[in-house]
Structure 1
């Protein structure tokens, strides 16, 4: 029995050839089919050069397990999520490695109603069966047909805006290497049909699996310049850039400035609470004060959850929350089966821009001034738990308020920080924020103090 190293906490991801290949993809499809025994599932893939072959191998495995497959073609992860809850099917698979380098690929798996399959909800069982290869004999094999989900997906996206209320706007759309391009084109056509006065300036819109515009990951500072430049060049109201499977989107204001995901959580909470006060908003514990402030101001209820998509989705279902946001640019929506989407956030943002008649910078500048943050800082350390204990001991005599929802958060009143071990890499992740009105100290002082402590 070969041990498979491509199975991670939330999905499947590995280096092509050694950690993930067509034989492994077949076994994963076969194992998924045998364990869950769905009648039909949807499957799609990103633009990577290896994705189509891996998808076909997984389809063969599913068919051999007796599962019917609807092949959605080249899609983003959220199109598979949408198919999994919108169509009469019992699950879905997206072949993608999102923002990983070109020589990687992977898969994201969901059950009926797009419920996530992660390490604690079935992924380990799929791994064990895929490793052993002890597959049951199946009398009737499944069939495969092609299905175009795009028109129905676009119709769903339009339910998040009121076309009559959208004011004239100019938006830069950076599809990275084109994975999101087909959706951008379809939205553009829909806007024209509905007379929505929004002009889309499309860059890197053509699908190209050789990644001519670099790894599709706008979190990397070096990947932001093309969006920033296009916003300034065209005098756009906002810039939008996506990652490789476009389940995360990143926003730039009209000055070309990249907006930290933390403040977008506040902006989207505001968008929902403007429509309906009293709604519940789920957030992660890394940075919280701005979210609390917005949710309180617009009469909502803030609910804290551990970071990570399976935890956020579970907490949203438990509380029937309308929206959940992570500072990592993952945004989740009740009307989207509690799944994350990279298309809904910017549509909501143009709603808020229209409703408030403000610019994006003026909407978030107040948040940034009031609650400055460090952004996420990652440290490579030999022992994450030992380092966390060291930090804990250092600040003990200051008697901060302590929260253990995810890693450890220490709150000193005028400033706070969260430090946690990464779920996916051997890293310690640090986030710091402060209350500007109570705090004479610059953010960099806190960053320097904690950096010395961690690296000391």
Structure 2
């Protein structure tokens, strides 16, 4: 393949992964080069093989072919598991004892996008190591060889592994919405196999996403599921994102149970078995979560948003569970510590089926505060980071406990406010919570004043 080094689009090498518009930024030629760079990293780590799999996007097969060819050119063997959710790719690393893998996925981006989530020698690549791949390409610093290629079916093994471990005490009636993402290849069958009565919608894998966008963190994408749950009197509904690594949950009343409330249930259950365990949550989560973790006898640790950051922290700390507001849930207890929306859904079914109360009653009993969804301030490319730096330098929140591990989070006695720069798109993400409407408004007023101190003309999303 001919390749112009001058044409490399630097912006696709992001904080958590490589991602861009196919045939414009992410071409087959560049994907081949990325394969060579990743293969060279595998060799440098002492490995000789890598697992690759892909989601249901239309560009997946050609990018998988280019990636495999590049990896093989570095002298690394490729085990191709074909169409599979990202968590199944990660699972394959453990099942096949191959500690490096790549999931070809655009996650919840529009259909014209695709990307690569990479694990080398058991470690999810950090922003620094992703930049290292780019530098390998620019320097053409590759290992050379002729790796082998083989295909391997793994989904049956994955489902069997979960069905053998997750044992609901009674059958529940559930609705599931795969959003035409690749979770459709596993979720309907898995939930039936663990004994659920399943009403599934949009389970056909279709990379054009003809019904709605596969992003369960956005309320508008859960409306079809809410309708089905109500129409069929289901106990609850589960939704999955485009590559199956995130979970959305709705109750029988059609209320969204956001991930920080899901995590309260999971934390209580795990801490009942493993008292004293550490639970990690990201900066966007409710104050109720760490309070409930401590109440159940656990150690609560707040960390940076981003699946690679959370996964690395989980591995370093030995925590039993980690989770993000976006719906990434990482179970180390009874599982492998990677983010898996379908497995998390199965664990939720098991947990709820073991209660004397109905799932709705369990959800209703969860602590709740008045909070906003994720709010967004849009900027030109790169400008949001500059704004964030100025905000950090000038903001004063004397009445709050301030954390700057990821943007700025101010925890008050009666709520919190957060501003952070997204690592994937040029936006600032904001979230607010208060014990009362008055507390929420007061915290938002503090943040409005701090934002306008940086830019008096800033248009606020609240």
Relative to the length of structure 1, the TM-score reads 0.89
Are 2:430 and 1:425 aligned?
A: no
Match of 1:79 in 2: 88
Classify 1:103/1:166 alpha carbon distance in 2 versus 1 (closer, same or farther; 3 Å): same
Match of 1:126 in 2: 133
1:61-76 paired onto structure 2 within 5 Å: 61-76=70-85
- Count of residue pairs the alignment pairs up: 440
1:209-288 paired onto structure 2 within 5 Å: 209-288=207-286
Measure how far apart 1:365 and its partner are.
3.2
Once the two structures are superposed, residues 169-212 of structure 1 have per-residue CA deviations (whole angstroms, 9 ceiling, x without a partner) of 10111111141122124314533xxxx3x201111111122221
CA contact (8 A) 1:73 1:146 kept: yes
1:101-140 paired onto structure 2 within 5 Å: 101-113=110-122, 115-120=123-128, 122-138=129-145
Match of 1:146 in 2: 151
CA contact (8 A) 2:180 2:205 kept: yes
CA contact (8 A) 2:52 2:81 kept: yes
Match of 2:348 in 1: 349
Counterpart Cα distance in 1 of 2:89 and 2:384: 38
Counterpart Cα distance in 2 of 1:446 and 1:143: 58
Classify 1:323/1:188 alpha carbon distance in 2 versus 1 (closer, same or farther; 3 Å): closer
Once the two structures are superposed, residues 88-142 of structure 1 have per-residue CA deviations (whole angstroms, 9 ceiling, x without a partner) of 21311111101111111111111133x201222x22221122234454442xx11
CA contact (8 A) 2:51 2:98 kept: yes
Are 2:314 and 1:308 aligned?
A: no
RMSD: 2.3
CA contact (8 A) 1:271 1:351 kept: no
Match of 2:454 in 1: none
Are 2:178 and 1:175 aligned?
A: yes
SS at match of 2:208: coil
Classify 1:348/1:444 alpha carbon distance in 2 versus 1 (closer, same or farther; 3 Å): farther
Counterpart Cα distance in 2 of 1:452 and 1:44: 47
Are 2:9 and 1:12 aligned?
A: no
Match of 1:364 in 2: 363
Q: Which runs of 5+ in 2 are unaligned?
A: 452-457
Are 2:87 and 1:88 aligned?
A: no
CA contact (8 A) 1:180 1:245 kept: yes
CA contact (8 A) 1:388 1:419 kept: no
Match of 2:161 in 1: 156
Give the stretch that moved more between structures: 400-409 or 444-453: 444-453
CA contact (8 A) 1:39 1:90 kept: no
Counterpart Cα distance in 2 of 1:70 and 1:391: 46
CA contact (8 A) 1:254 1:361 kept: yes
